[in-house]
Amino acid sequence: MFKLHRCSGQNFAGCLLERLGEDSCLIDAATGATTAASDLPRLIVGFAAGLRSDGLHPGDRLLVSCVLSPASTIAYLGAMYAGVVPVPIEERMLAGFGNQLLALSSAKAVWTAEGTNCNWIKAPGANNQHVRLLEGMFPPIPPESLPPHPSVENELAVLMPTSGSTGRPRLVMVSHGNLKANTEAIIRSQNLGTDERAMLIMPISYCFGASVMHTHLYQGGGVVFDSHFMFPDKVLNAINTYACTTLAGVPVIYNILLRRSHIRSIPLPGLRRFLQAGGALAPDNIREMCEIVPTAEFLVMYGQTEATARISCLPSDRLHNKLGSAGLPLDNLEVRIVDEDSRELLEGEVGEIEVRGPSVCAGYLDDLRATKCKFKDGWLRTGDFASRDQDGFLWIKGRTDDFLKIRGLRVSVGEVETRVAAIPGVSECAALGVKHAEAGEALALLVVPENDAEECSAESVSEDFGDRVRRALPPHWTCSAVKIVAELPRTANGKIARSQLQALL
């Protein structure tokens, strides 16, 4: 089942097309429409030819509106095949960030699926008079009639918006070589076969979603796109309907499956693996997922957009003794833990994670200052604090900007959120720091209970619940507020939108 061979040429999209197999397909779960292996190359190459005929040249940038459907993937890969640089953005983010990304990327055109509202392009003061608007698919053509753009390994393949929680994206310069190196390393770490089919509920504008699409097509498998996760049982049923072998998600996805779905009564006999990244999932929730679906592996991963996607992976067979770890680095990456002066630290000491290897990107587009801060002497400074144990496993403690100082002691926001989420009756938690006269800084917690929102809106219930949360915290974690909320604000990629937390208090 396992295959991995070097393809001819350096264009990642061209290489991916060479590797498509009989099981390769793109499926839209909303309509059931299937793009089969025989049609995929014709559509992707046809899209590339359409861009060329419409006046786009290699190196030009194309803003790609991404929805959970095959069309966005065809546009993304078709642009890359033509040497045009896609700039993927989730469709619902266009109105808010479309003009910003157009200016950042100097994109010459915007592609959208048919029927997308693009009034934002013509908004007063948008200054988009010279930007072409392309809609829908181009006619398919035989793939042999247009070879891929002859890209070199370090040539720009995609400008990927960062998926941070601040709402101010940068554009990471991802090369064809970065994509190939990271895709192949992920495939090895997950032991993906040639008959895999992923259930994708994240857009490919998020590096996690893009990496799942890349790896499964690169191995000759398929991808199912489903936008129905607000109804999680529909997605679980679709996993069975379309014979999916992989489900990937950020922590909130698994929290919803455990608390708001019938996963305990919907068997998933064909599912081989769960993939989890995009933040820490409470260890108890990982154990629970493994107990509910014991036939599927649970792989915990850590990564950053600046490293193309994945940096490390905790294999399922090490959950018994390494649960809570971010795993081992991928086999083509070097990882070290350093202090403030970039001196490498010893086993067990906490410092910043730095990464070096072929999937570390060149930097941010037209942002030399940020690039110099983040990339130094070939090393990516992740901004994440961690330690390594005697076996080389990474244990992430928090981010450089996600620590509070309470009574002079450093407290990790990530550790607080994980501990609170483990309290019985709590579904999830977001923590932030607030000024405190005695402690200097104190915790403020936004807590989503497992109960219905209506149940927890009563003031007496909220007070009792808040007191119970406070009592479960260590005494030195001064907590000035616990607020019950129905849900936490999220970015387009499912991460906590930390820039919106203060307003909720």
| Predicted confidence pLDDT, tens digits, the chain (505 residues) | 444 445 667 999 999 999 999 999 999 999 999 999 999 999 999 999 999 999 999 999 999 999 999 999 999 999 999 999 999 999 988 887 888 899 999 999 999 998 777 777 776 666 676 899 999 999 999 999 999 999 999 999 999 998 544 446 799 999 999 999 999 999 999 999 999 999 999 999 999 999 999 999 999 999 999 998 889 999 999 999 999 999 999 888 998 899 899 999 999 999 999 999 988 888 999 999 999 999 999 999 999 999 999 999 999 999 999 999 999 999 999 999 998 888 999 999 989 999 999 999 999 999 999 999 999 999 999 999 899 999 999 999 877 667 787 876 678 788 888 889 888 889 889 998 888 766 778 899 999 988 754 444 444 445 678 888 988 898 888 899 999 999 999 877 777 888 788 888 8
Q: What's the token pair of residue 281?
A: 């999932």
Spatial CA neighbour of 447 closest among 466, 424, 460, 467: 466
Which domains does the chain possess?
Answer: 12-394 (3.40.50.12780), 402-504 (3.30.300.30)
Spatial CA neighbour of 142 closest among 231, 54, 70, 49: 49
Place of tokens 């607030």: 434
Place of tokens 């620590």: 403
Where is 187: in which H helix or E strand? helix 176-190
- In order of 81, 193, 221, 245, 355, the CA distances from 1 in angstroms are 27, 5, 11, 13, 31
Ranges of H-type helices in 375-455: 413-421
Q: What is the pLDDT of residue 411?
A: 81
Place of tokens 């998020």: 206
Q: What is the pLDDT of residue 310?
A: 98
Q: What is the pLDDT of residue 125?
A: 62
Q: What's the token pair of residue 195?
A: 């008959």
Contacts of 198 (CB under 8 A, 6+ apart): 212, 213, 216, 221, 222, 223, 224, 244, 245, 246, 247, 248
Q: What is the pLDDT of residue 218?
A: 98
Q: What is the pLDDT of residue 7?
A: 63
- Secondary structure (DSSP) of 97-140: HHHHHHHHHT-SEEEE-TT---GGGGSTT---TT-EEEESPPPP
478: how many CB neighbours lie within 10 A of its CB? 20
Q: pTM to 2 decimals?
A: 0.85
Sheet of strand 440-449, all strands in order from the earlier edge strand to the far edge: 426-436, 440-449, 479-484
